[in-house]
Each structure stands twice: as C-alpha cells, then as structure tokens.
Amino acid sequence: MLKGKVKVAVELYNRYHSPEAHAELVKLDSGTLTVRFSGSSCRTRGINDWVEDFKYMLESLGVDAELEKVIEPSDLQEEFRLGIFKIKHISIR
C-alpha cells in the first residue's frame, strides 16, 4: 500500500513540477523514504522548498511524512538532491 502511494506521489509531483524539478524513488524501507530530485531547480537557493513540496504530495494521499534532511552531492555542479523522509503514519483511503 505505501509503495503504491509513493508511486502516485512521484507521478503527481512530476506532473506539477517538471521540468524544473523531477522526483524519482530511490529507496523505501523501514519507514524511511529516499527520493532523488533533479532539474534546474537544484541550482536555486530554494531547493529545499522544492523537496519539501513532495511531503505535501504524500499528505494528499494519506501518508504523514517528515522531511528529515536534504543531501547535496559532494560535487556542487551536480544538479540533484536527495530528500530523506520519515514515514510517520499511513491513512487507509
């Protein structure tokens, strides 16, 4: 159930944020979700806002999540960030 909701959240995020930002599921396990964000938004200072928007996509699908951290690549020329989300609760809808 959670994986299906995450997949829908990724699709919705990409529908509304592409091409500036693109989300891709990297890993989902033990209540932790890792999503890779890429696109031109990764060059802006407000990238954390773009990453946090994914949390609201999850919430709209009944998944209560918290953005724990944003990981930047060691080479700042890379245009991606990893968002680490903690899954707190899943509503059955």
Supply the CATH number for residue 42's domain. Answer: 3.30.70
16: pLDDT strictly greater than 90: yes
Average pLDDT over residues 3-17: 95
Query: pLDDT tens-digit profile of 65-92?
Result: 999 999 988 887 778 889 999 999 999 7
Q: What radius of gyration, in Å, describes the C-alpha atoms of the chain?
A: 12
**What is the C-alpha to C-alpha distance for residues 30 and 73, in angstroms, rounded to an integer?**
24
Selection from 56, 54, 57 nearest residue 70 by Cα: 54
Residue 58 lies in domain: 2-90
pTM for the whole structure: 0.89
- Number of domains into which the chain is organized: 1
42: pLDDT strictly greater than 70: no
Question: Model confidence at 61, in pLDDT bands (50, 70, 90)?
Answer: very high
